[in-house]
Amino acid sequence: MIRTSLRFTTLCAGLLLSASALALSLGDLTQKDATGGLKDALTQGAQLAVKQLSTPGGFSNNPDVRIELPGNLGKAAKAMKMFGKGEQVEALETSMNKAAEAAVPQAQAILVDAVKNMSVTDAKGILSGGDDSATQYLNKSSREQIRAKFLPIVKQATDKVGLAQQYNNFAGQAVALGVVDAKSASIENYVTEKALDGLFEMIGKQEQSIRQNPAEAATSLAKKVFGAL
């Protein structure tokens, strides 16, 4: 029994030593591998987020990113729904979410370029940063460009809806009274900002998923890098 116990203990110790030897840390990776793996994972996350949001119902069926009327307009809308007068509200909110879905594909090329242009210094900061540091990098480096692409598409989509003018008139008065933020004064600006928020929200979820489970990364290099974090 003693010999069996000793053999078992020795086997366990050997397995632990083997696992320790196989485990990688970021310090074991070259800068090229670390940066390349991060870029692979970021590209994957951005593309998946765009794909999810650009499908029919990508915004409206996802409570985390669904676009509703802002501030006190939203409160009024909920009251209208309770009293059976929510058809106009539903039509407006549906059009806002569809406009966001139509605009989102424009983000993919910009996001991929932002990943390609990432420096080694950027990569180091992201890999040593928090759970959303990659998402914050993309937000900072590409949000303005994406906004410029989104805005005309959103405007075109919302102009087709007769309620858009009604929204703008109502929201303009609300801004003057200080009950709605100035960014929400026009439907196209409001939807564009909410579409951007939703996009980076979903990219953030992809980042957290890969950080928590590196096996979900699409490439072996990305698996290696995030497995070392």
- What does the pLDDT look like over 108-132, one tens digit per residue? 999 999 999 999 899 989 988 889 9
Question: Contact at 8 Å (CB) between 116 and 38?
Answer: no
Confidence of residue 18 (pLDDT cuts 50, 70, 90): very low
Does the pTM surpass 0.75? The reply is yes
Per-residue model confidence (pLDDT) at position 137 = 96
> In angstroms, rounded to a whole number, what is the distance separating the alpha carbons of residues 39 and 35?
6
Q: What is the mean pLDDT of the chain?
A: 81
- What does the pLDDT look like over 181-204, one tens digit per residue? 666 567 888 899 999 999 999 999
Nearest in space to 50 (alpha carbons), one of 107, 114, 115? 107
57 vs 85, more confident? 57
Per-residue model confidence (pLDDT) at position 19 = 35
> In angstroms, rounded to a whole number, what is the distance separating the alpha carbons of residues 58 and 44?
18
Confidence of residue 13 (pLDDT cuts 50, 70, 90): very low
Is residue 20 pLDDT above 50, yes or no? no
109 vs 225, more confident? 109
> In angstroms, rounded to a whole number, what is the distance separating the alpha carbons of residues 148 and 107?
10
Is residue 178 pLDDT above 80, yes or no? no
Per-residue model confidence (pLDDT) at position 46 = 96
User: How many C-beta atoms surround the C-beta of residue 33 within 10 A?
Assistant: 16
Confidence of residue 153 (pLDDT cuts 50, 70, 90): very high
Per-residue model confidence (pLDDT) at position 21 = 33
Exposure of 84 in the CB half-sphere (CA atoms within 13 A): 0
Q: For the chain, give every domain's residue range.
A: 29-227
Is residue 41 pLDDT above 90, yes or no? yes
